[in-house]
Structure 1
Amino acid sequence: MSKTILVYCGSSKGHNPIYEAEAKALMQAFKKYDCKLIFGAGSVGIMGVLADEYLRLGGHVIGVIPSFMEPWEVKHKGIQECYVTETMHSRKQKMAELADGVIALPGGFGTLDELFEMLTWKQLDLHQMPISVLNTNGYYDHLMAQLQHMVDEGFLKSPNLEALQVETNPAVLVDYIMGYEPEKMEKKWIYRG
């Protein structure tokens, strides 16, 4: 069964070529299941690597970009579908509406913003999609330590952290998403004290 998977990632490639290589490996894993790719519509950085590789493999690529970014001339010209939204918020909403699952690759503020919004929405039971990070080269190790610290200090429920799948192997990550069964989220906000 094919799924449409939303990938958040950087508009830079990073300093280590492993990030580009693992992004390509992820697209090869997508092709095994004939998944559709949703991404930020960019032609630069890891975004461009994903789109170029998946198009090369014959995959279907969907971009979503806010209108104010169009004049920057970073929109990928070769993708099959592209939605233009009014705002960054409506961009994130549209991406989520189209998706069956979420993967965050290495990236910057934008990637983390998107990842945490989807985790927050999941905690609030606004969706039941799998959310994951591809922890290439240990990129997310420090973030995962911070999230565990939040659990240890009582600001995050352990089951909600466990809803974030962390994987280092692109093929294993795609297998996880394809076989995903929704888990019960902890509604921490309904408890006093």
Structure 2
Amino acid sequence: MSSYITTFTKKRFNPITPEEQLIDIKDIAHALSLMTRANGHFKHFYSVGQHCINCYKEAREKGYSTEVQLGCLLHDASEAYISDITRPVKRHLPEYLIIEGQVQRVIYEKYNLDKLTIEDFKIIEEIDDTILHYEFKELMGVKIFELEPPIALKHDFSLKGFQEIEDEYLKIFYKLCN
């Protein structure tokens, strides 16, 4: 059994011992554009990549720093290397959470986000939860939170093609990183 995954760009990436030089934004954008949110239970395909783009747009609209905007775009990037597990299950898997944290830390270091503050992470988490709420409202007719969180934009939760999402994700990333 191998100790690595083969990424879209043909890198051999070991998620247990992630190496910064093997992190590639092309792998992240590609994989997230193909991964479904809500474990596939929405009324149509809606990708993690599209979710991250919406989180970025919300942060931008609210006037947060470029670093927080990039943090929003990349907040689920570890899933490109280790996939995702639904929230109710994930909290019962401490080893998964450790691995996820290590991969995410290396990604943030790679893209110079290792200086994000506790407050920045709270903002990113708040935006993530806000978009989650409106995704479930729009794509399932279900309210996640009793009180609707304030939102700055009307986001696009429509069905989009994988390539369109991958391209938009990369375009935003390169714009934020100049």
Which entry has the higher C-alpha Rg, 1 or 2? 1
* TM-score, with length taken from structure 1: 0.29
Q: Which has the higher helix share?
A: 2
* TM-score, with length taken from structure 2: 0.31
Point out which structure has higher relative CO (alpha carbons under 8 A, 6+ apart).
2
